């Protein structure tokens, strides 16, 4: 979402850090079990690693299901797409329509540079109209194209023009930096598209992680069985 306060990304970074910490602890247990030929530690290691594998698999499947719906709509004369909230999964709708969740996300968007820097990046209307905006920029920084508001520059629209659409987002948009279209469904849709892209990346990474950990799990099973045959009695 651009460069903004670290608290805005805690929800994304903490789970990753937590997973890394858990894998580190489990790896240490497995290492100690192999180093000391301790069957109990190896058994604990295999159980915990199995739980991690199941959790990664479940999360990855759910991530692909949740992000299966939703895509942008092409707009004539524009290089970027516009997004509609109803196109996304029920889970996304529930999360984004939750007032507490959205207030937090909105505060992050206001602090970010996504909308504030548009007029600096695109000095002329021609540059702005030919730009390839991100989903958040397209949904949160400007009114939907169907409103028909004439753009004066990249961050200012002539709101005296009567909107040609009944879309409620047309009434919600304001030129103020603190308001923009942050209360619009189009903004929520832009965030949903951003989250969908991020989740897809995480899901693909999890697939790779699942394969790697599965191989490690297989090696761990072999080590446990070898240790069991070589040392039939559990070590104290």
- Within a 13 Å sphere around the CA of 72, how many CA atoms are in the beta-carbon half? 23
Under the banding of pLDDT at 50, 70 and 90, the label for residue 6 is: very low
* Separation CA 85–CA 192 (nearest Å): 8
Q: Which long-range contacts (CB under 8 A, 24 or more apart) does 125-131 make?
A: 125/151, 125/152, 125/153, 125/154, 127/154, 128/153, 128/154, 129/77, 129/78, 130/79, 131/79, 131/80
Q: What are phi and psi of 94, to 5 degrees?
A: -65, -45
Query: If DSSP codes are grouped into helix, strand and coil, which group holds residue 207?
Result: helix
161 band by pLDDT with thresholds 50, 70 and 90: confident
pLDDT band at 229 (very low <50, low <70, confident <90, very high): low
The domain locations on the chain are: 10-230
What distance in Å separates the CA atoms of residue 95 and residue 212, rounded to the nearest whole number? 32
Torsion of CA 64, 11, 138, 165, to 10 degrees: 90
Among the ranges given (37-41, 70-74, 205-209, 211-215), the one the predictor scored with the smallest mean pLDDT: 37-41
Sign of CA dihedral 128, 192, 178, 170: positive
Q: Is the pLDDT of residue 117 over 50?
A: yes
- Choose from 18-27, 107-116, 139-148, 222-231 the range with maximum mean pLDDT: 139-148
Q: Who's near 38: CB < 8 A, 6+ residues apart?
A: 32, 235
- Three-state SS at 3: coil
User: Residue 39 pLDDT > 80, yes or no?
Assistant: no
Mean pLDDT of 54-76: 87
- At 78-110, the pLDDT tens digits run 888 999 999 999 988 998 999 998 998 898 888
Q: Please check the confidence at residue 50 and state whether its pLDDT lies above 80.
A: yes
What is the pLDDT, as a whole number, of residue 79?
85
pLDDT of 142 above 90: yes
User: What pLDDT score was predicted for residue 43?
Assistant: 84
C-alpha pair distances (Å), 138 with each of 34, 96, 190, 194, 233: 54, 17, 7, 11, 65
Q: What is the pLDDT of residue 146?
A: 92
Report CA-CA distances (Å) from 126 to 130, 143, 148: 6, 18, 17
Identify which has the larger pLDDT, 181 or 123.
181
Confidence (pLDDT) at 192? 92
End-to-end CA gap in the chain: 52
| CA distances (Å), origin 173, targets 50, 109, 178, 211 | 50, 15, 11, 47
SS3 81: strand
Question: Is 60 exceeded by the pLDDT of residue 63?
Answer: yes
Q: Which residues of 134-158 are buried (b: 16+ CB within 10 A; e: fewer)?
A: bbbbbbbbbbbbbbebeeeebbebe
pLDDT at 46 over 70: yes
| Mean pLDDT in residue range 172-180 | 93
Q: Which of 5-9, 74-78, 84-88 has the highest mean pLDDT?
A: 84-88
Largest pairwise CA distance in the chain: 84
Q: What percent of the chain has pLDDT over 90?
A: 29
């Amino acid at each position: 979402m651009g460069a903004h306060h670290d608290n805005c990304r805690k929800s994304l970074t903490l789970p990753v850090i937590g997973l890394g910490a858990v894998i580190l602890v489990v790896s240490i247990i497995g290492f100690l079990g192999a180093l000391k030929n301790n069957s109990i530690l190896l058994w604990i290691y295999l159980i915990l690693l199995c739980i991690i594998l199941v959790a990664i698999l479940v999360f990855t499947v759910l991530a692909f299901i949740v992000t299966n719906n939703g895509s942008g709509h092409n707009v004539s004369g524009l290089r970027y797409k516009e997004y509609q909230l109803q196109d996304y999964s029920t889970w996304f709708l529930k999360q984004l329509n939750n007032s507490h969740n959205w207030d937090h996300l909105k505060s992050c968007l206001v602090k970010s540079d996504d909308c504030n820097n548009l007029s600096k990046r695109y000095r002329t209307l021609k540059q702005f109209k030919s730009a390839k905006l991100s989903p958040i920029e397209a949904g949160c920084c400007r009114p939907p194209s169907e409103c028909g508001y004439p753009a004066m520059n990249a961050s200012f629209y002539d709101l005296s023009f009567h909107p040609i659409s009944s879309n409620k987002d047309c009434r919600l948009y304001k030129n103020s930096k603190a308001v923009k279209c942050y209360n619009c469904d189009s903004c929520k849709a832009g965030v949903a598209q951003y989250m969908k892209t991020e989740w897809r990346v995480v899901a693909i990474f999890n697939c790779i992680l699942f394969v790697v950990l599965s191989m490690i799990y297989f090696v761990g099973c072999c080590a446990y069985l070898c240790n069991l045959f070589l040392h039939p009695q559990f070590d104290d």
